[in-house]
Amino acid sequence: MDTTLSNNRIKTIRSLSAKKYRDSLGLFVVEGEKMVAEALASDFQVVEIWKRDDIGYDAMARISQLSSPSPVLAVVKAKPLSAPAETGGLCLALDGIRDPGNFGTIIRLADWFGVDVIYASPDCVELYNPKTVQATMGAIFRKKVVYCDIPDLCRRFRKAGLKVYGTFLDGEDIYAQPLSKEGLIVMGSESQGISPEVGKEVDGRLFIPSFSGGASTAESLNVAVATAVTLSEFRRR
């Protein structure tokens, strides 16, 4: 194995921290022994692997996207993120999720709770953003993520006779509502929640109540936390 990194190769790998280069080259970076092992065990194509013990700390620091360079880094070929929308099973739809940490955590939650597909609106953060990739903790290599038109997706689910759920501050108590084993669960953006365009396509409006009863109760839950609570309740039934 060649353990020599040329300056041009370093420049190319470093460039993958920027979306425009990830898009143009069709590549992204994963770091850490667990993440690289997950990539190798998946059907993603691993283009190259660099180990800190082979190339040295300084060289790894130059190509790493982390504050402290990890023991191993892999360059992976990205998969297309558009595909025909399918209906069936229990799926998630993310409407305008902008924080890469939230997005990655939600993918990890979808993996934990056995969600079939994660659909994302075009204005969601990019799947291959380094912070998103790391936050998935390897789930990116096991779950299918598709970017699509969410209102149209909702209509497709409803046409197939499946319920479309969403979380709203004026929704019905999730713990008192009948929940289907199949359907689409929509989670809205961190700042605005579910958009009006998507909201009008939701026929199961849910609310996660607070049990603190105090005046200082938070106005709402973080979207990743709300997703965990929602999926847990669906799977509990």
CATH 3.30.1330.30, the chain: domain bounds: 7-77
Short-list 81, 77, 79, 22, CA closest to 45: 77
Q: In what order do the strands lie in the sheet with 27-31?
A: 27-31, 72-77, 46-51
Q: Which CATH superfamily is domain 90-236 in?
A: SPOUT methyltransferase, trefoil knot domain (3.40.1280.10)
Q: Are strands 204-207 and 183-188 parallel, antiparallel or unpaired?
A: unpaired
The pLDDT of residue 87 is: 78
Mean pLDDT of 192-214: 90
Residue with tokens 């108590």: 173
pLDDT higher than 60, residue 216: no
Full-model pTM: 0.91
Q: Of the ranges 41-45, 63-67, 203-207, which one carries the lowest mean pLDDT score?
A: 63-67
Q: Are 166 and 194 in contact (CB under 8 A)?
A: yes
Mean pLDDT of 220-233: 94
Q: In what order do the strands lie in the sheet with 90-95?
A: 144-147, 117-120, 90-95, 183-188, 164-173, 204-207
Please report, as a single letter, which amino acid is at residue 149: D
Q: Are strands 27-31 and 46-51 parallel, antiparallel or unpaired?
A: unpaired
Mean pLDDT of 223-233: 97
Interatomic CA distance for residues 205 and 169, integer angstroms: 9
Query: Tens of pLDDT along 79-118?
Result: 988 776 677 899 999 999 999 999 999 999 999 999 989 9
CATH 3.40.1280.10, the chain: domain bounds: 90-236
Interatomic CA distance for residues 166 and 186, integer angstroms: 5
Q: Which residue has the higher pLDDT, 66 or 24?
A: 24
Residues 6+ apart with CB under 8 A from 125: 97, 98, 99, 100, 103, 132
Query: Tens of pLDDT along 107-152?
Result: 999 999 999 899 999 999 999 999 999 999 999 999 999 999 999 9
Mean pLDDT of 61-79: 94
Query: Tens of pLDDT along 9-59?
Result: 999 999 999 999 999 999 999 999 999 999 999 999 999 999 999 999 999
Mean pLDDT of 202-226: 82
Q: Spell out the CATH class of 7-77.
A: alpha beta
The pLDDT of residue 212 is: 74
